[in-house]
Structure 1
Amino acid sequence: MSESPAFPVVDGVPPGRALLADRIRELIAASVCVADDAGLAAAAGRIEAVTTALRAAGGSPPLLLAALEGGGHLSINNPLEGPGNPLAPPLSWVHIGPAEVRAEVLLGPAHEGPPGRVHGGWVAAVLDHVLGRATAAAGFPGMTASLTVDYHRGTPYAVPLTVVGRLDHRDGRKLHATATLRAGDEICATAKALLVHFSADRFPVPVSTSD
């Protein structure tokens, strides 16, 4: 059996990568809220030129990790928590511990589903990611086998949201976890999930690398 490749790990989030992702997030928010078609074709041409330049410098795999102070690693290009991925809101980890993890997130107009509210798919994705982080922080990294989300009320965007996740109990490789998403004191959504624990030999060992 061949040895699995190691995860690349860098010291902190590369500032240029994070800055580029921030600017692209701003671009996405501006594009969905633009009032009319004036100048959009010209803007598309400028964006195409930048895209061509970035694609020419591509070729690296997207997986890139940075160590977290609370333990574990931040996936820099992850679509939920990654500060280097323009698709990510991103999630900001407030606390990571074996009993509970807590994150904050600010979703915007690009995440709108119903008027003034976050699309339910994004709510589910945020909860799913926090559930996965919770089981990993408890020492049992796993992948989601089933996810049930209860939507208690519409989730507002442009409002700070807090998400808390925890591993409730383990039955062999089966991990049972729950999470709650709040806007202020109001519960917007809750989730419960069944995850399947992966044995340690299924996860490559992180190794340091230069950016």
Structure 2
Amino acid sequence: MAESRGFPVVDGVPPGRALLGSRIRELIEASVCAGGDADLAAAARQVEAVTAALRAAGAAPPLLLAALEGGGHLSINNPLEGPGNPLAPPLSWTHVGPAEVRADVLLGAAHEGPPGRVHGGWVAAVLDHVLGRATAAAGYPGMTASLTIEYHRGTPYAVPLTAEGRLDHRDGRKLHATGVLKAGDVVCASAKAILVHFSADRFPVPVSTSDSP
């Protein structure tokens, strides 16, 4: 296993890890929507057995990077885009470039807040992550110092969504970025953020600067 600035790097996303993340993601959705006739106690015992087996295999640091073909890295266990993390929707990047980034995302019933709508915290998390990607793609990786979200209308779940972000301008170490989350052509939420640029020598930049299929 290679390393990048001290972080473990693998050649591509391990299929087993991505498959496990996907199956647990499906389990979460199924458990949230389970009907009254389901034997939940039996299901819990099965999940407990699988959890014990995974723990018995030993623990590893959660930050695991996969080298991307076009350059940069993907954080396999990232909670927004990591295919190995069941918490991640995950975001699927359709374009990553120096002027703008764009990702498709599908949120489900497990992300529901108001009836039939995505919880606002998940909307904010998606936009925060996209703005971080945008500044990194422009060559200035940073951490969020402030984030302002405007909720224009409820964001539906189980509907394909598009998240877009861009770096508007830089003021020294301060990075000003904006983004939107859309359902079709309808803007559900928009965001403005100030991020603080940090040295790429300290952290890997998990982003490709080319279109991503």
| TM-score normalised per structure 2 | 0.91
Structure 1 partner of 2:91: 91
Q: Is the 8 A contact 2:127 2:163 kept in 1?
A: yes
Shift of 1:202: 2.3
Structure 1 partner of 2:75: 75
The 1-side partners of 2:19 and 2:83 are apart by 9
Classify the secondary structure of the residue corresponding to 1:200.
coil
RMSD: 1.6
Q: Partner amino acid for 1:190?
A: S
The 2-side partners of 1:147 and 1:86 are apart by 25
Distance change >3 Å, CA 38–CA 105, structure 1 → 2? closer
Classify the secondary structure of the residue corresponding to 2:128.
helix
Distance change >3 Å, CA 124–CA 140, structure 1 → 2? same
The 1-side partners of 2:46 and 2:116 are apart by 30
Q: Is the 8 A contact 2:68 2:74 kept in 1?
A: yes
Structure 1 partner of 2:22: 22
Correspondence list, 1:1-211, <5 A: 6-36=6-36, 38-203=38-203
Q: Partner amino acid for 2:186?
A: E
The 2-side partners of 1:205 and 1:164 are apart by 19
Deviations 1:36-77 (A, max 9, x none): 164111110111000000011131101111123454211100
Q: Partner amino acid for 1:195?
A: L
Q: Which runs of 5+ in 1 are unaligned?
A: 207-211
| TM-score normalised per structure 1 | 0.92
Q: Is the 8 A contact 1:70 1:97 kept in 2?
A: no
The 2-side partners of 1:161 and 1:87 are apart by 17
Classify the secondary structure of the residue corresponding to 1:202.
coil
Q: Which runs of 5+ in 2 are unaligned?
A: 207-213
Classify the secondary structure of the residue corresponding to 1:23.
helix
- Paired residues, number: 203
The 2-side partners of 1:68 and 1:187 are apart by 30
Q: Is the 8 A contact 2:99 2:166 kept in 1?
A: yes
Distance change >3 Å, CA 187–CA 33, structure 1 → 2? same
Classify the secondary structure of the residue corresponding to 2:44.
helix
Classify the secondary structure of the residue corresponding to 1:8.
strand
